[in-house]
Amino acid sequence: MTETAPRELVCDRIGKTFRSQKRDILALEDVSFRVRPSEFLAIVGPSGCGKSTLLKIIAGLIAPSSGKLIFPEPETTRREDARPAPRSAMVFQEHGLFPWMTVLDNVTFGMEMRGIGKPEREERAHAFLGQFGIDAFAHNFPHELSVGMRQRCALARAFLTDPQILLMDEPFSALDAQSKLVLQVELLRIWKDHRKTVIYITHDIDEAVLLADRVLVMSGRPGHIRQEISVPLDRPRDLRDREQPRVREITWHIWQAIESDVRKSLQLPA
């Protein structure tokens, strides 16, 4: 490595073209940004602008067509775990849990892949599930749980894996409005204790502002970053913070940045 090891995650002019027989789709072009350690970054943007693609590139699930991704140097491992923490752990919108594993096996999967022994990973899991109110369901299968509980399990799995960066792709968008609010508060609470670096994708501007330190607004065709808005709001936060005039203003600002894109995607005049 030529430069000094970065402490930040760096996305440097990332581009992605999907090639198919019929035509090529330019999904991302020149996407550059940095994420500081322990930062909560939200990404909003109209449907199809390439948010999920970007997240999958960061997760290492698909390769970028151009540009590069620099991960921060891993901290020296705190524990004598068999293998180092993975770079990222992703939380999907839905169906991310393995249906054939119990809640316990699901949430310990990341630790299992790291070679952490069964007694230790189950001990850690029980502690975490207890805080999360799902310990009683450790031996249930995902189909026996409500959507909200499943998403809490998915969050628990990601946090327990203890990756360098947590990636969340609309984790609460399949929930009803009230459960969503409660889970947002829960996420804030857990995050406060762990201070993980998070990249959080959402369509919900209120959610982005409530959770994030900084919001990136993406725009489509091809996907690029249109604007960056920081949310200088004290932590810990709670739902009442949404009523602050400052927050209202930021939300309105983000909406203005997005509105024309959304109209375009709906074929409405701007």
Partner 1 sequence: MAHLASDRERRPQELAAPGITPAPHRRIFSIVPGPRIWVPLLLVTLLLLVWEWAVNVRLLAPVLFSPPTVIAQTIAVSFADGSLTLNLGVTLLRVFGGLLVGGGLGVLIGMLMGWSRTVRDNTDPWIAAAHAIPKVAILPLFIFFLGIGEEPKIALAALVAFFPMLINTMAGVGQINPIHMQVAQNYGAGLPQLFTRVIFPGSLPLILSGLRIAFNATFVVVIAVEMVSGATGLGVILWRSWETLQVELLWSSLVLCGIIGIVFNLVLILAARILVPWQVRHQV
Ligand X SMILES: Nc1ncnc2c1ncn2[C@@H]1O[C@H](COP(=O)(O)OP(=O)(O)OP(=O)(O)O)[C@@H](O)[C@H]1O
Give contact residues for ligand X (rule: CB under 6 A).
18, 25, 27, 45, 47-53
Of the listed pieces 12-20, 73-81, 101-109, 216-224, which binds partner 1 according to CB under 8 A?
A: 101-109
Q: Of Mg ion, partner 1, ligand X, none, which one does residue 48 interact with (CB within 5 to 8 Å by kind)?
A: ligand X
Beta carbons of 70 and 12 less than 8 angstroms apart: yes
In the complex, minimum distance from the CB of residue 55 to Mg ion, in angstroms, rounded to a whole number: 8
How far apart (Å, rounded) are the C-alpha atoms in residues 78 and 81? 8
Q: Does the protein bind partner 1 through residue 18 (CB under 8 A)?
A: no
Nearer to ligand X, 140 or 173 (CB): 173
In the complex, minimum distance from the CB of residue 183 to ligand X, in angstroms, rounded to a whole number: 19
Q: What residues from 158 to 197 belong to the interface with partner 1 (CB under 8 A)?
A: 161, 179, 182, 185-186, 188-189
- Across the chain, how many H-helices and E-strands are there? 8, 9
Residue 164 backbone phi and psi in degrees, to 5:
-65, -40
For the chain, how long is the longest CA-to-CA vector?
Answer: 60
CB within 8 Å of 177: residues ≥ 6 apart: none
Binder among 145, 174, 233, 262 for partner 1 (CB under 8 A): 145
Binder among 100, 193, 267, 269 for partner 1 (CB under 8 A): 100
How far apart (Å, rounded) are the C-alpha atoms in residues 72 and 87? 9
Helix 147-161 / helix 177-194 crossing angle, nearest 10 deg? 10
The residue sitting closest to Mg ion, measured at its beta carbon, is 52
Which spans of this chain sit near partner 1 (rule: CB under 8 A)? Answer: 56, 59-61, 83, 86, 88-90, 92, 95-96, 98-102, 109-110, 113-114, 132-134, 136-146, 148-149, 152, 157, 161, 179, 182, 185-186, 188-189, 236, 238-240
